[in-house]
Each structure stands twice: as C-alpha cells, then as structure tokens.
Amino acid sequence: MNILVLIHEFPPVGGGGGRVAQDLCHGLAARGHNLRVLTARMDGLPDHEEVDGFHVIRIGPKRRFAFRALLHEMLGYNLAAIWHGLRLTDGWKPDVIHTHFAVPAGAAAFWLSKLTGVPYILTAHLGDVPGGVPEKTDHIFRWVFPLTPSIWQAAARVVAVSHFTRRIALESYPNVQVDVIHNGVDRSVMPERELDATRPPRIIFAGRFVEQKNPTHLVQALAGLKDLPWNCVMLGDGPLQAEVKEQIAAFGLQDRFTLPGWVTPEEVLDWCRRGDILCLPSRSEGLPVAGVQALAMGLAVVLSNVGGNTELVRHGENGFLFEPGDVPALQTHLKTLLASSKTLKSAQAYSFELANQFNLQTIVGQYEGLFKTVTFMD
C-alpha cells in the first residue's frame, strides 16, 4: 500500500506528535508498505532523506524554531504540501493520505483529496482541537475555526490519540465519528533502564518550555524538597527556559538541575534510561509520548490530572495525578516517591506492566486495518 503522510513537524523537529508519526511510519514500513512523508524544512536537515525504510521530503519555508511553528510557516507548509502532493500523484499515486493534526496539515489533506480523489485519515493529537490547548491555540482558532469542520467531515476516518481528545473534538464537531487509537511504544528498541542504587533518584521532565507544559511548577515543588536526595533533568527548549533557569538560581538549586536544551527523541530515551520518575505538570495533554515511553522504561509517573494523562496513571499504584497548578500536591506526591525506595520501586514495576497496553505493534495494526478499510471502500 502507498501511504502519503502529511505532518508539519517531524523528528528531530517538533514534539510528541512527530514522534508518534515517525514510529507509525517505521512500523508500517516494516510491514511492507511504501511511505512518503511531507514535512517542513529546517536548517541543518536534508530536503530528502531515507529513514527507517521510508522517504522523508522536507518542503516549504524553513522553520525558525524546532520547538514552535509560526503561523506563516504553517501556511507555507500547507501550500507546499498541496503542490508537492499533486506532483507525487503523477508517478506515485498514494492509496491513502494520513494527516497528523487537523491544523495545519489537515487543510492540505482536504484539498489533495478533493483534487486527486485519494481518501485521507486524520489523526488529532489535541493542539489541533479547539479548546485542547487554549493558552497556545485559542488565538488561532478564533480565525480558522470556521474553516475546520469541512476538514473533519471530509476525512474517511478520524482518530484521536486519547479518550479526552475524542471528547473535546466531539464538542466542536459532533457529527463526526472519532475513533481512539493510543500512541504506542516499541519495547523491542527500548534501551534497558540503568539501575544505580548509589545515586539519588532522578526526575525527568520532557517537553517544550511553554505555558502548556508548565515547567516552572516543577522547580517550585522541588525547591521545598531540598532535604531529600534527588536530581532533576529538564529536557526541552522554549520561551520559558530563561525563567526556569532564573528560578533554579533563586532557590540555589543549580547543582541539582540539568538543562540539556532541545534534544533528539533518542536522547530523551537515553535520559529516561537513567531516570526514575517522569514528572509532567502540564496544563493540557493529549496522550504524551514521553509518558508512554516512561511506562515502557519502568519509570514512576507524576502527572497533572488533565487529558490523556489519566490514561497513563493508576493513582497510588504507578504514580500520582494532581490538579494542574497545585504545587503543594505535586510536592507531596514527589516526596512520597523520593522518601521511600520501596514505594518508588513498586510504582516503577507497575508502570512497566501497564506499558503492555500501549504496544506499538498492536497500534500499527489498528492503523493498518483502518487504511485497508478506507482503500477497500474507495
């Protein structure tokens, strides 16, 4: 089957949504499917590249930031995706188009489908759903929302990465059928977690340094736990990075925090291999890839009680949920894990077992089934 994948950010550019797309492409290519990915350009990355058995084509205006796409860059990507997509259909007609994010790539999928007759499947990750990440996208949806219902309605199938994402999508698009297929993880390529009883527990934060991910609250919570042994690695970059560094310095915690900046997906896994607890104090989440990976690596998880986070945590078993913004509760839950090695190890073992529900091969098979159904109907 020929599958054309549209996504405006693809590793090493972008966040978890790109990693989801990359893992799916790898899994589908391993099953013999022929995939081509149209994604955005950026300095330092080749315009054409073979990756894990599929072809990546980078198009449109170059992105300025790895961690954020500007509005004009997304618009430019859409125009380029339509043009390059039409060129591809001349000699390589896709059987199906798979678009990640209704905004922006969904618009390109809509027009390519109209112009070529090729059906498309839409995967919604949360930020592309009205109200999903209000602090990040509300200003965009004020302008583009009237144009989005047709994108959702014209899709042959719509997938949400979590039950929460599905629920809020149906609030804006009630006449669309939305299935849930979780983000997955391939345990066969996961490095074994490093076990070192001599070092203090390591807390991992992985994400953009933006209001949605709320990194400053983690620093504030840990500032009240100076008497316990721990160190913290905060992976990522973004406009709040300077504020995070200032807070760390103000609390006198420079020797207990490591901020490597923007890292590759492989480096995230390597840090998780050396970690013990994943902490994401986000204000909103679809189904964080870092969370799924943390389960597979056997990390305890302390996540805000929002969105798809609730599908990754069994409260009191493999970690804890807390209300976003409740720094004292976050501090209490971290203290519970840090103060008792027995509690921490028990939570880690539970996470490892829970990860079986997010097996990548099962999820690739679910998408493969959708693609076959759509092309058969077509």
Q: What is the pLDDT of residue 377?
A: 59
- Would the CATH topology of 2-184+359-377 be identical to that of 187-358? yes
Helix (H) or strand (E) holding 42: strand 34-42
Give the pairing type, strands 54-63 and 96-100.
unpaired
Give the pairing type, strands 157-160 and 178-180.
parallel
Interatomic CA distance for residues 2 and 97, integer angstroms: 9
Interatomic CA distance for residues 298 and 301, integer angstroms: 9
Q: How many CB atoms lie within 10 A of CB 252?
A: 10
- Read off the pLDDT of residues 353-376 as tens digits, 9 standing for 90 and up: 999 999 999 999 999 999 999 986
Name the residue among 10, 362, 12 with its Cα closest to residue 187: 362
Name the residue among 51, 125, 111, 118 with its Cα closest to residue 80: 111
Cross-strand bridge partners of residue 121: 98, 157
Q: What is the pLDDT of residue 197?
A: 65
Q: Name 340's Cβ contacts closer than 8 Å, sequence gap at least 6.
A: none
Joined together, the tokens standing for residue 278 give 């994943």
For residue 12, the Cα-to-chain-centroid distance in whole angstroms is 12
Q: What is the pLDDT of residue 240?
A: 95
Percent of the chain past pLDDT 70, that is, above it, reads 98
Residue-range domain boundaries for the chain: 2-184+359-377, 187-358
Q: How many CB atoms lie within 10 A of CB 143?
A: 9
Contact 37, 69 (CB under 8 A): no
Q: What is the pLDDT of residue 37?
A: 98
Specify the CATH class of 2-184+359-377 in words. alpha beta
Name the residue among 135, 181, 211 with its Cα closest to residue 308: 181
Report the CATH architecture of 187-358.
3-Layer(aba) Sandwich (3.40)
Residue ranges in the chain modelled with pLDDT below 50: none
Supply the pTM of this predicted model: 0.83
